[in-house]
A and B are shown apart, each in its own frame.
Chain A
Amino acid sequence: MGLLGPCWVKWRCVQKSAPQEMPEKWARAGAPPSWSRKKPSWGTEEERRARANDREYNEKFQYASNCIKTSKYNILTFLPVNLFEQFQEVANTYFLFLLILQLIPQVSSLSWFTTIVPLVLVLAITAVKDATDDYFRHKSDNQVNNRQSQVLIDGSLQQEQWMNVRVGDIIKLENNQFVAADLLLLSSSEPHGLCYIETAELDGETNMKVRQAIPVTSELGDISRLAKFDGEVVCEPPNNKLDKFSGALYWKESKFPLSNQNMLLRGCVLRNTEWCFGLVVFAGPDTKLMQNSGRTKFKRTSIDRLMNTLVLWIFGFLVCMGVILAIGNAIWEHEVGTRFQVYLPWDEAVDSAFFSGFLSFWSYIIILNTVVPISLYVSVEVIRLGHSYFINWDRKMFCMKKQTPAEARTTTLNEELGQVEYVFSDKTGTLTQNVMVFHKCSVRGRSYGDVFDVLGHKAELGERPQPVDFSFNPLADKKFLFWDPTLLEAVKVGDPHTHEFFRLLSLCHTVMSEEKNEGELYYKAQSPDEGALVTAARNFGFVFRSRTPKTITVHEMGTAVTYQLLAILDFNNIRKRMSVIVRNPEGRIRLYCKGADTILLDRLHPSTQELLNTTTDHLNEYAGEGLRTLVLAYKDLDEEYYEEWAQRRLQASLAQDSREDRLASVYEEVESDMMLLGATAIEDRLQQGVPETIALLTLANIKIWVLTGDKQETAVNIGYSCKMLTDDVTEVFVVTGHTVLEVREELRKAREKMMDSPHTVGNGFTCQEKRPSSKLTSVLEAVAGEYALVINGHSLAHALEADMELEFLETACACKAVICCRVTPLQKAQVVELVKKHKKAVTLAIGDGANDVSMIKTAHIGVGISGQEGIQAVLASDYSFSQFKFLQRLLLVHGRWSYLRMCKFLCYFFYKNFAFTMVHFWFGFFCGFSAQTVYDQYFITLYNIVYTSLPVLAMGVFDQDVPEQRSMEYPKLYEPGQLNLLFNKREFFICIAQGIYASVLVFFLPYGVFAEAARDDGAQLADYQSFAVTVATSLVIVVSVQIGLDTGYWTAINHFFIWGSLAVYFAILFAMHSDGLFRMFPNQFRFVGNAQSSLAQPTVWLTIALTTVVCILPVVAFRFLKLSLKPDLSDTVRYSQLVRKKRAQHRCTRRPGRTSSRRSGYAFAHQEGFGELIMSGKNMRLSSLGLAGFATRSGSGWIESLRRKRSDSPGSPPDKPLKGGRPPPPPHPSLRIPAQTGLRRRTKNRRARGWVRPCPARGPWGGSNLCIFLLPPTPTPGAESPCS
């Protein structure tokens, strides 16, 4: 039914948009000009027209409806499309070809069923799997398409499903609803047609944004008027630019320009707005969200690709063998066969030895095809499925709180999880919880907020005492928690500074309050930071109660105080501060300012120097902990000065040219010589275990890039708090250029800096170039310090252009950490694509929102954070779980094992099939190259399916080299996967060589014995059937022993399968050779009596035993030698495991504490414009203002200026580099290590931190210096504890 449902929907969509000729009458007066209507279908749309409330008209254009389709098939197309896709697999085509060959009687050397049965089986299994996958896609499409929305149809609101919403419809949205399509905002419940949206799904920004309807439509508040609305929108065709929209509304014979400010995009959520009406402009696949989500691509793992290459090679090899044998056949037929014709005349069709050779070529292709058995592909799928289930079943990746287990949504990528080199992470919702918490503060030189446990030690997270009791304050927010009681005591005692501190917090902001019931306060904050600060003030007794454009009412310790709001000096990116000027009831005028430390500390009164020093220390401490800091200051203004200043401000704001600059300088003037009050520290709360996970992944040589739509400061701050950026980082390069040249220059400078550093020894952070291009490596090898790169969205746009992308990549890869901020969803995908394309490395993208979808789809592996509000990311992802920290387990445990198992599986698989098949090749030389098989055809059919499949499957599913705890403790164990060491072309050749070696012995030892020997009853031993049974039996035993040797982890299942396979072999052998079957089908079971006769011969068993010994012992010897001479890390870990069992466990603890860093912790998720909004009173309900005529007073100038500022901001002077006011610190002398001592020093450092241990003990294989790689046993907090 699920399969059927959406296909009907689709059907309907298609029918509704059936092409129709456009009648002339549509061209009417007042209609927009340029009537040349283009076909909109298939991307040729040049312009979009949509008329409100006129479905008939809009249907002319065949715009896409609002139903989205991510599924691939429907019932009718499933079979042909799926088969077509499957036959694009090299292997499947190859088997089809073989099947056709086998149907030619002259060529056929095996029964047809040997190929067709497995082929059909494989195709069917894959088809079933694809069908289920697609079924779930249909289901999720259905779910989205069937969401309800209110559509204005025939003058009344009707509930419609999302998919039935058309371009031109007017729909009504209510608070907290998802926007169903890209809408033109017409009107809203708020004054002036304002409406607030959260765009986290689109761009990851969490602050609220404001949209406004154009004035003419904002009055269309009621349905009757809306129903009559017949404006026509003419706008750009669908595109993926989220921040751009150009178009015009034609209504009542006039034209109104439209911009992005008037648009509500699909994926946004309506906030703080009761309702709004919108006109659908883009629907379904045309929406910016869908346009940004990229195509659904079929992902393949690198092993898949390698396998396809190898299959091609094997095919080449097959052809070579075929040619050799065909030539042999031609010669043989010419020399011997012609004479032998007395006993066996040639086939009628064969007239020459040459032709016979030609035929035998094809015959041999059929016989030898088992080098690539079709069961390979099925087995690989089965193994991957098993691994996926292990991921789904993992309790350590289960989140108790959200009740979400980890989920492997794709079952084809598991082993690639063991090869990841680059992780691209979203910030908001992925690394952070998107919760801002007032964490610490410094008031007049005293720091509050440290948590002390009972013994007076600084308590770590998770062992906190009781939080502070705010019950004295009836207006306190119950959810607010603070642990340092001293601050509250200070407030209660009446410390004036503390009071002033919180007064500032309660006054200096742009938060709106709402009090639905008495005492039930709700704050509408533009940024969560600000909300956190005001909430903190509220709980400490300074409750921001309400505001009007001119006043702010605060409940200070229980008494209501109304301040007169004189001015808001708004925040912007350059000023990085905001101030308010208020007059208190006593009449004193005071300026309160909060802002970035880098800016504010320079504007303080010289008398505060001493306080400044202590506060700076606190700021550094906070910054070191990754907290987001703001400095608070105030200044008293006298009445005359203020009046005079207000005059100047008015003039500046009225100026025609360079108004911005003038205002800025006026602001600048008043915000000087301020008195320092203190600083706040807000925790942008990280998800649990994020720093530890990042540290562990870094140790595993995985590079983590953060790609976020958020602001630069915020992103950098998170970089610090999650330990991506540390104080070890020599320098952080910030690229914020706005032009190609600037960006190029900045990148060049960064590279030069890296090159300049006196180190020449490469370190662990050079990118692993698999395909060295001289230019790239030259830089990378020279880099030694630890650098970080921060790049802005607009710079990234230039950096990603074709001529600069390599430069950018090269620079970025030389850096230890890369943070891209303000990036669009598409840019995220482009960055991933860039690394994917040029680095030949496996990439993983992790994110939680719709803005991460394109990146998730582009990366080799996409991971979605589940349990959040939106599910787009999860739907697009390959794996999903609810906590970032689970990534370490997914990669280091599941990924690593999957890779290991898959590699071992493939090695063994190729080995066993070469050993199996090559025997035919050798036999060719003894049977006149006549394409006679050595084995019974049933053995050939069953060998891969029954006799040898289960043990290797069990190994592929269950094998473990080291216990899971070890792979977390020694992240270096992950490296073989990244370097592709376990299965590559070299390993493949080794497997093949081993297989061929086995085949030689399995054939020639019995040959040598049989040629002369006789049975114990005197009859000849060397009859064909006995030989076949002997070779087959020894082969089965040899490969079984070999799998026993390869299996590193013998569970009961492995035992069962290995012994079971052998038992089944003998059971089937005796059954096939039994009298009963022969009597029923004498022509099919011609080996009657063979098993019991042959296997009763001691010579046969001696031969089998010898073959096994000779095949296996060299392998054992080789492995043992390798283990003792060149052990790899997992061997060492395994060995140390043994040693450790015997000894007391010695654990190294990590160096606790952190050094203070000299950097700014400033970050503020705030945007310009709200100050003006507040002062104008535009966003306040008239009722709440109590000033009826107020709103009309100051026109809509603010929104114009707001819009202008927005559009200006990309062009505004670039943000100072991160280090802004503080000059970048000169490289610390200790960091400037002379080249030759660099490595030694590093090692020394590590040793000092307990990272490098003395070698545990010398293994039986002698001392190797491997222990130096044993990296710190990082505590893995995420591993054991379920997320709280």
Chain B
Amino acid sequence: MSQKYNPITWRTKMKKTSQICQSKLPDNTALKQQQLPAYRLQLSATGVLSGFFATGAFCLGVGIILILSAKSIKEIEIKYTKICANCAELREDAINFDKECTCSIPFYLSETMQGNVYLYYKLYGFYQNLYRYILSRSNSQLVGTDLKVRLYLIWYNTPFFKDQSHNGTPIAPCGAIANSIFNDTIILSYNLNSSIHMEVPMLRSGITWWTDKYVKFRNPSAINLSSAFTGTAKPPYWSKPVYELDLEDTENNGFLNDDFIVWMRTAAFPTFKKLYRRLNRVQYFIEGLPAGNYSFNITYNFPVTRFKGEKSVVLSTLTWSGGSSLFLGLAYTVTGSSLPGRNYRLSNNC
């Protein structure tokens, strides 16, 4: 209240009130009078036509480059479900889970596969993108902080979290994704001649995303892995616990196993391929895979015939843009070539 007598405050107050009296007149600002300086968008003929032309040329150019580079890719795919029909049949029945079944698939590579060669497995009709499937994991378990999946608040009972046969011991890694891991072993051997069969050297490292390997997946901290996982059970479909996935390389064991990480990155579509191994370019294979006779030796574990799926192995090289398919190139070419046509029609109309 005493402020009222402060001359300065008083004056400003007066000023304010007199301003209020006059302030009924709206301010003359560009915003309030809707006079903001602006560019009026106008579809002018030259603008539109030249835009179309430029875009068309660009698309056509990119399209041709993409097609050419896609053509340079060498790829070979062998579906082995039918080839290994007996194994497939064996796996139909879950009782035979411990019976090993191998299958050898010889093939002939007519041309050298230059450069880096990648080995994929490809599944047909396997739905890694089902809503409940994708949810069926625990990231906090996979970073090793919540091994017993206590934090995992699930609305409903996604399967494979608790081992029903062992009083509900928590499963590590839990969930349907981990449980259904692709567990075939694929070995590529090069038949230099009829007597010398050599295993093609393959790298199992570098097939995962950096963030997956170093952020998203962590083993629980303990002196050794097996003790870290005490109190957990292996997933029901697994033949060995998670800490025995790769006994030779501790960096590749437990949750950090590359094959496991690759599998855990779920695919968007029911038909997908996942990187399995990459060629170690040493000895004969410095240039890539030389032409010749090869064979895949597959330990057939993963049953697909039950859901009418198929499996195949893929060998492929890459280009600058990765394994770019023909589709993108074609799409660009079609777009690019349809634009000048449209251009023509438009300019005719004017």
Contact = CB atoms under 8 A, between A and B. Distances in A.
Interface stretch (B5-13, B81-89, B124-132, B221-229): B124-132
B293 interface: no
Interface string A916-928: 0000000000111
Interface stretch (A125-133, A174-182, A561-569, A1049-1057): A1049-1057
A1020 B272 CA distance: 8
Given A1024-B268, A1088-B216, A1089-B212, A1018 B130 contact: no
A1021 B323 contact: yes
Given A393-B27, A1099-B324, A1121-B346, A344 B42 contact: no
Interface stretch (A398-406, A738-746, A754-762, A1219-1227): A398-406
B290 interface: no
B143 A1097 contact: no
A1109 B143 contact: no
Interface residues on B, range: 35 or more
B307 A342 contact: yes
A1089 B210 contact: yes
B321 A1099 contact: yes
Contact of B24 (A405, A930, A1083): A405
Given A932-B131, A1051-B36, A1106-B331, A1022 B268 contact: yes
B277 to A, nearest CB: 10
A1011 B269 contact: yes
Nearest to A336: B307
B269 A394 contact: no
Given A405-B24, A1051-B38, A1053-B36, A1088 B215 contact: yes
A1025 interface: yes
B140 to A, nearest CB: 4
Contacts of A964: 34
Interface in A990-1038: 1005, 1007-1028
B274 interface: yes
B131 A1025 contact: no
A1082 B217 CA distance: 10
B322 A1013 contact: yes
Interface in A511-528: none
A108 B125 CA distance: 25
Contacts of B62: 1102
A1260 B120 contact: no
Q: Which of A343, A930, A1124, A1134 has the most CB of B within 10 A?
A: A343
B208 interface: yes
A1016 B322 contact: yes
Contacts of A958: 34, 36, 38
Interface stretch (A285-293, A450-458, A1110-1118): A1110-1118
B211 A1051 contact: no
A342 to B, nearest CB: 6
Interface in B248-272: 262, 265-272
B26 A403 contact: no
A960 B127 CA distance: 50
Interface string B278-289: 100000000000
A1089 B318 contact: no
B24 A1020 contact: no
A1052 B36 contact: yes
Contacts of A398: 24-26
A1136 interface: no
B349 A1124 contact: yes
A392 B328 CA distance: 54
Interface stretch (B101-109, B152-160, B183-191, B194-202): B152-160
B133 interface: yes
B321 A1018 contact: no
B145 interface: yes
Contacts of B219: none
A927 B135 CA distance: 14
A1015 B323 CA distance: 6
B269 A1010 contact: yes
A344 B33 contact: no
Nearest to B154: A105
A1005 to B, nearest CB: 7
A711 to B, nearest CB: 37
Given A343-B180, A348-B157, A1260 B45 contact: yes
Contacts of A109: 131
Interface string A91-126: 000000000000001101100000000000000000
Given A343-B179, A930-B131, A1083 B262 contact: no
B346 to A, nearest CB: 6
A1022 B267 contact: yes
Q: Which of A349, A1017, A1121 has the most CB of B within 10 A?
A: A1017
Contacts of A4: none
Contacts of A1016: 318, 320-322
A1023 B261 CA distance: 12
A1016 B321 CA distance: 6
Nearest to B29: A393
B161 interface: no
B4 interface: no
A1093 B211 contact: yes
B278 to A, nearest CB: 6
B48 interface: yes
B215 A1020 contact: no
A250 interface: no
Nearest to B43: A1120
A1021 B216 CA distance: 18
Contacts of B140: 1082-1083
A46 interface: no
B177 to A, nearest CB: 9
Contacts of A811: none
Contacts of B125: 336
B295 interface: no
Interface in A1062-1104: 1075, 1078-1079, 1082-1083, 1086, 1088-1090, 1092-1093, 1097-1099, 1102-1103
B230 to A, nearest CB: 22
A435 B206 CA distance: 92
A327 to B, nearest CB: 17
B318 A930 contact: no
A393 B323 contact: no
A363 B156 CA distance: 14
A1024 B134 contact: yes
Given A1083-B140, A1260-B45, A1018 B26 contact: no
A394 B26 CA distance: 7
Given A1083-B152, A1109-B55, A1099 B322 contact: yes
Contacts of A1010: 268-269
B299 interface: no
Q: Which of B27, B145, B349 has the most CB of A within 10 A?
A: B349
B316 interface: yes
A393 B30 CA distance: 11
Given A348-B156, A390-B34, A1106-B328, 4 more contacts: A340-B307, A926-B129, A1083-B140, A1116-B43
5 contacts: A927-B270, A1089-B212, A1089-B215, A1099-B324, A1102-B328
Interface of B: 24-28, 32-34, 36-45, 48, 51-52, 55, 59, 62, 66, 116, 118, 120, 125-134, 136, 138-140, 142-143, 145, 151-152, 155-157, 159, 176, 179-180, 206-212, 215-216, 262, 265-275, 278, 303, 306-308, 316, 318, 320-328, 331-332, 335, 339, 342, 346, 349-350
8 closest Cβ contacts across the A-B interface? A1089-B211, A1014-B323, A1012-B325, A105-B155, A393-B32, A1027-B268, A1016-B322, A1260-B45
Interface of A: 105-106, 108-109, 336, 339-340, 342-345, 347-349, 363, 389-390, 392-395, 398, 400, 403-405, 897, 926-928, 930-932, 958, 960, 964, 1005, 1007-1028, 1045, 1047-1054, 1075, 1078-1079, 1082-1083, 1086, 1088-1090, 1092-1093, 1097-1099, 1102-1103, 1106, 1109-1110, 1113, 1116-1117, 1119-1121, 1123-1125, 1134, 1138, 1260-1262
